[in-house]
Amino acid sequence: MNDKVCVGAIAGAYGVRGEVRLKSFCAVPEDIVDYAPLSSEDGTQNFSVQVTGRIKNGLTARLSGVESKEAADALKGLRLYAPRERLPALPDDEYYYADLIGLEVLDTGGTPLGRVRSVQNHGAGDLLEIIGPGLKATVLLPFTQEAVPTVDLEAGRIIADPPDGLF
């Protein structure tokens, strides 16, 4: 498992005084401040975060060291990471997306189906994007109890019972 988890991303400047538009990937968007200081993926940039308001599809925030619109615009697209130890423990049937990426996917008979490339959510529920050598294109597997009865993080695998015709 990774030692850092992506908890948000900067969507650009908000106003002219250095505030940013912030997309929070937390269940409660404002909880992103609880995991600060946040860093870039490579750890070269660190920020304390102060939420200043809510906007459509996100938050407005002040980041330490960002004092101008130009500085805020320069950070557009930057993903913000928190150390895993700052994040709360999850119940048995919940997972951080970062922990699912790269896991091997097997069917209920033990036949390899591929690996998890990403976890997506387009509004109707989570989907696992599966890639593999035997697949002509990626497959989107619904991440439901019926289609994915077992996730074994320690063994690095997912047991899937995909709908007929998906693979």
CATH number for the region 4-86 comes to 2.40.30.60
Q: What is the mean pLDDT of residues 38-45?
A: 93
Confidence of residue 53 (pLDDT cuts 50, 70, 90): very high
Query: How, if at all, do strands 126-131 and 112-121 pair?
Result: antiparallel
CA dihedral 90, 95, 101, 106 (to 10 degrees): 130
Identify the pLDDT of residue 2: 65
CA dist., res. 105 & res. 120, Å (int)? 16
- Please report, for the chain, the start and end positions of each structural domain, with discontinuous segments joined by +: 4-86, 97-160
pLDDT digits (tens, 9 = 90+) for 2-13: 688 899 999 999
18-40 tens-digit pLDDT: 999 999 988 889 999 999 899 99
Q: Within 10 A of 161 (CB to CB), how many other CB atoms are there?
A: 15
The answer to whether the Cα torsion of 4, 8, 12, 15 is positive or negative is negative
What is the CATH number assigned to the segment(s) 97-160?
A: 2.30.30.240
| Over residues 91-100, mean pLDDT | 86
User: pTM of the entire structure?
Assistant: 0.73
In this predicted structure, the answer to whether residue 1 has a pLDDT above a threshold of 60 is no
Q: Within 12-121, where are the H helices?
A: 69-74, 97-100
Q: What percent of the chain has pLDDT over 70?
A: 99
Q: Where are the alpha helices (DSSP H) in the chain?
A: 69-74, 97-100
Report yes or no: 148 and 160 within 8 Å, Cβ to Cβ.
yes
